[in-house]
């Protein structure tokens, strides 16, 4: 098994393999350096299919801390039957191995379908993450426009690296990563269907788009961001164009057509057909779908105190605050939406089907760095020429479409009311502290989450942490199951007054090591969840009845993630946020910086058992208590 990271080489390092300056803005028409991206991709290994017996064993191990003994006994029998020689498991395994030999990645297409395109809940809150940047230092529309113009220039600067194939290749544990996701996030959009959605990527078309869409006061505009010679508009030119958009948008009011994209996907699929009956609407929707990205120029949202600012901002990024707020000032199907509000609140929302958080954050890190550079330090392409005004994208609202908009307003308001979000900046230490104690910071945080959950509920729960599979061609993610026998032993002992500190530290070290071990097997394609999914999909592909193993209530329990978590690190002091994946669960995203950790914790207020504010506090307490016992234990002192 290759690719298991050593603890000193697990960080994401970046190396520019391609010897071109990375920050140079190249005209979009610049000759594509054909083949660099492709040859890098071809050099990547294919995702392996793990051995059947290994997965079966690891599955039973993973169940131990989260199911009752009688449930486990029943599942053990099902597993035995599934993997018996000549049984259905072996047949499906062979099918999967054949699929792996015939495809670039046996999993990726299935995964996008099952996890995203067949998932019918609204993308808002249930699938699309938000990202909260630090509040910028402007408080009016003038400042908003200036910043937004720089932001557009920053994205175009990044896009030039994609177009020219000069994007630095990323590494994990010394292994180069698949860069495909970077090629999927710009100029793409999700399209609603009646039963299944799709994603179109116009960057790959013969006429790639040269415009972005800007939405202000619920009105959409097409803004061409390149001059006729292919050079990007300068920040000054963009400012002029954005001013034109804002004054045109203030002159009239409009129905919030974008709010339709917050609907349940089956309902939106039908509403989409209604909307697209009209030619003007078709033209406008196509312009949005084709655009490089969407820029949402928001009005200021509610602030609250300094303490609650980031939580309020996260809500703006995740769903826009409902119909009285900015939820209609979005097109949630768009892969990438940057959000800039008049009060300096900034961030993004992205549709998850084409990519995970890390490539989005890498793009945003680049953009933030770009906006901080002095104007003089930046290449200014294009002379100040008179530009045609941005094109307003009109919509004709039939009574049918109006009804759909009304329904979308009601449903997004319910959703907005239901979502509880707490952004907590844990100020006491960052990833530096676990490193001092020779522990993986990510594992340390995950074990603190286990402790926080156990203290609140007196039980361990199925926990999901995303692990990158990007060491493999077209790799997406697998699941790190953070609840392990070792973590269960630790959380059960931690508050036991009869246990000595040294024993607690010993159990903590074992739990952290077990988590890092699972991380290593997950990133090297040897975890259980995608393999089990693949075996189930293979049964469906071969039109076999779904094996009893997958109809087992224990399997459903194992997939009912009360804790759905993800680390999304960044250079910028920001945090990503997402909703819980089950009605009685939590979504927890965190960004460990050197000396502090940003957490975004979400829950649904309809569930009386969960409370994001309480869990965030419990995580803080767990981290502090874990530090305390480490510092009090002579063994751990360096």
Contact positions vs ligand COA (CB under 6 A): 7-8, 10-11, 356-358, 431, 435, 438-443, 466-468, 477, 519, 523, 566-568
Query: Contact 433/627 with Cβ under 8 angstroms?
Result: yes
Tokens of 438: 């020779």
In 3D, which of 160, 293, 152, 296 has the Cα closest to residue 236?
152
The rounded distance, in Å, linking the Cα atoms of 5 and 470 is 13
In 3D space, the residue among 525, 584, 557 whose CA is nearest the CA of residue 64 turns out to be: 557
Nearer to ligand COA, 75 or 519 (CB): 519
Cα(588)–Cα(567) distance, integer angstroms: 9
**Residues near 69 by beta carbon (within 8 Å), at least 6 away in sequence:** none
303 assigned to active site: no
Looking only at the bridges linking them, the beta strands covering 597-604 and 175-176 are unpaired
Nearer to ligand COA by C-beta: 110 or 220?
110
Comparing CB distances to ligand COA, the nearer of 152 and 576 is 576
Q: Give me the least distance between CB of 162 and ligand COA, in Å please.
A: 19
Catalytic hit among 319, 352, 366, 515: 352
Minimum CB distance to ligand COA, residue 357 (Å)? 4
What contacts 614, CB < 8 A, 6 or more positions away? 456
Least separation, in Å, of the C-beta of 523 and ligand COA? Answer: 5
Distance of CA 70 to the CA centre of its chain: 36
Place of tokens 């350096």: 33
Nearer Cβ to ligand COA (435/560): 435
**Cα 530 from Cα 535, distance rounded (Å):** 9
> Please, what is the minimum distance in Å from the beta carbon of residue 355 to ligand COA?
8
Residues 6+ apart with CB under 8 A from 201: 183, 184, 187, 188, 354
Residue 571 corresponds to which tokens in the numbers above? 């250079």
CB of 250 to ligand COA, least distance (A): 36
Q: What is the DSSP letter of 421?
A: E
Least distance (Å) between residue 473 CB and ligand COA: 16
Query: What count of other Cβ atoms lies within 10 Å of the Cβ of residue 552?
Result: 18
Nearest distance from C-beta of residue 474 to ligand COA, angstroms: 14
Closest residue to ligand COA using C-beta atoms: 11
- Scan for tokens 């909307």, then name that residue: 275
Q: What is the CA radius of gyration of the chain?
A: 25
Shortest distance in whole angstroms from residue 631 CB to ligand COA: 17
Which of 307, 149, 279, 277 lies closest to 223, judged by CA?
A: 149
Q: Which is nearer to ligand COA, 135 or 468 (CB)?
A: 468
Residue closer to ligand COA (CB basis): 161 or 443: 443
Give me the numbers of helices (H) and strands (E) for the chain, helices first please.
21, 19
Q: Are strands 563-567 and 586-592 parallel, antiparallel or unpaired?
A: parallel
Taking CA atoms, 47 is separated from 96, 346, 501, in Å, by 11, 37, 43
CA–CA separation, 599 and 424 (whole Å): 5
Q: Are 321 and 240 in contact (CB under 8 A)?
A: no
Least CB distance to ligand COA at residue 584 (A): 22
Nearer to ligand COA by C-beta: 130 or 269? 130
Nearer to ligand COA, 351 or 552 (CB): 351
Torsion of CA 223, 225, 228, 230, to 10 degrees: -150
| CA dist 609 → 82, 343, 422, 448, 491 (Å) | 36, 35, 16, 20, 20
Nearest to ligand COA of 257, 445 (CB atom): 445
Give the residue with the Cβ less far from ligand COA, 150 or 530. Answer: 530
Alpha-carbon span 132 to 116, nearest angstrom: 23
- Number of alpha carbons in the 13 Å side-chain half-sphere of residue 593: 15
* Cβ-proximal residues to 575 (8 Å cutoff; 6+ apart), any chain: 131, 132, 310, 314, 423, 568, 589, 590, 591, 598, 599, 600
CB of 414 to ligand COA, least distance (A): 25
Active centre residues (catalytic): 352
């Amino acid at each position: 098994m290759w690719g298991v990271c050593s603890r000193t080489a697990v960080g994401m390092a970046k190396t520019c393999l391609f010897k071109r300056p990375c920050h140079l803005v190249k005209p979009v028409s610049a000759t594509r350096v054909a083949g660099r991206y492709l040859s890098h991709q071809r050099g990547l290994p294919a995702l392996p299919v793990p051995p059947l017996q290994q997965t079966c064993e690891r599955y039973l191990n993973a169940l131990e801390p989260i199911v009752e003994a009688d449930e486990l006994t029943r599942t053990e029998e099902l597993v035995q039957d599934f993997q018996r020689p000549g049984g259905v498991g072996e047949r499906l395994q062979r099918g999967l191995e054949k699929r792996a030999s015939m495809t670039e990645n046996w999993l990726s297409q299935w995964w996008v379908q099952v996890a995203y395109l067949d998932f019918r809940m609204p993308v808002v809150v249930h699938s699309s993450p938000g990202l909260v940047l630090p509040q910028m230092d402007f408080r009016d529309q003038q400042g908003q426009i200036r910043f937004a113009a720089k932001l557009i220039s920053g994205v175009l600067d990044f896009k030039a690296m994609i177009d020219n194939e000069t994007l630095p290749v990323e590494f994990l544990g010394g292994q180069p990563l698949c860069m495909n996701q970077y090629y999927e996030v710009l100029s793409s959009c999700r399209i609603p269907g009646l039963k299944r959605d799709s994603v179109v990527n116009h960057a790959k078309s013969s006429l790639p788009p040269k415009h972005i869409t800007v939405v202000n006061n619920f009105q959409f505009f097409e803004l061409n961001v390149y001059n006729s010679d292919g050079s990007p508009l300068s920040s000054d030119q963009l400012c002029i164009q954005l001013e034109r958009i804002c004054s045109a948008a203030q002159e009239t009011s409009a129905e919030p057509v974008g709010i339709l994209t917050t609907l349940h996907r089956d309902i939106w699929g039908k509403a989409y057909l209604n909307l697209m009956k009209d030619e003007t609407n078709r033209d406008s929707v196509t312009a949005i779908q084709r655009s490089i990205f969407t820029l949402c120029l928001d009005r200021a949202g509610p602030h609250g105190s300094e303490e609650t600012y980031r939580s309020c901002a996260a809500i703006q990024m995740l769903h826009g605050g409902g119909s009285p707020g900015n939820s209609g000032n979005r097109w949630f199907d768009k892969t990438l939406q940057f959000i800039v509000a008049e009060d300096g609140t900034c961030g993004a929302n992205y549709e998850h089907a084409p990519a995970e958080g890390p490539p989005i954050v890498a793009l945003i890190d680049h953009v933030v760095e770009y906006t901080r550079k002095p104007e003089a330090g930046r290449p200014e392409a294009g002379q100040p020429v008179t530009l045609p005004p941005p094109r307003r994208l009109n919509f004709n609202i039939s009574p049918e479409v109006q009804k759909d908009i009304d329904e979308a307003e009601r449903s997004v308001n319910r959703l907005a009311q239901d979502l509880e979000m707490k952004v907590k900046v844990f100020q006491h230490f960052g990833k530096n502290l676990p490193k001092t104690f020779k522990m993986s910071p990510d594992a340390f945080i995950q074990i603190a989450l286990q402790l926080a959950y156990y203290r609140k509920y007196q039980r361990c729960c199925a926990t999901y942490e995303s692990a990158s599979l990007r060491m493999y061609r077209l790799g997406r993610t697998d699941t790190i199951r953070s609840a392990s026998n070792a973590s269960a032993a630790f959380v059960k002992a931690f508050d036991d007054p009869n246990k000595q500190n040294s024993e607690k530290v010993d159990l903590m070290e074992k739990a952290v090591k077990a988590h890092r071990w699972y991380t290593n097997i997950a990133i090297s394609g040897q975890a259980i969840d995608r393999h089990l999914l693949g075996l189930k999909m293979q049964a469906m592909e071969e039109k076999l009845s779904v094996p009893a193993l997958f109809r087992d209530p224990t399997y459903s329990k194992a997939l009912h993630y009360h804790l759905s978590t993800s680390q999304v690190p960044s250079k910028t002091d920001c945090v990503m946020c997402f909703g819980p994946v089950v009605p009685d669960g939590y979504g927890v995203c965190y960004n460990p910086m050197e000396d502090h950790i940003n957490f975004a914790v979400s829950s649904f207020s309809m569930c009386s058992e969960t409370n994001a504010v309480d869990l965030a506090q419990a995580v803080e307490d767990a981290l502090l208590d874990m530090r305390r016992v480490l510092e009090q234990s002579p063994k751990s002192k360096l």
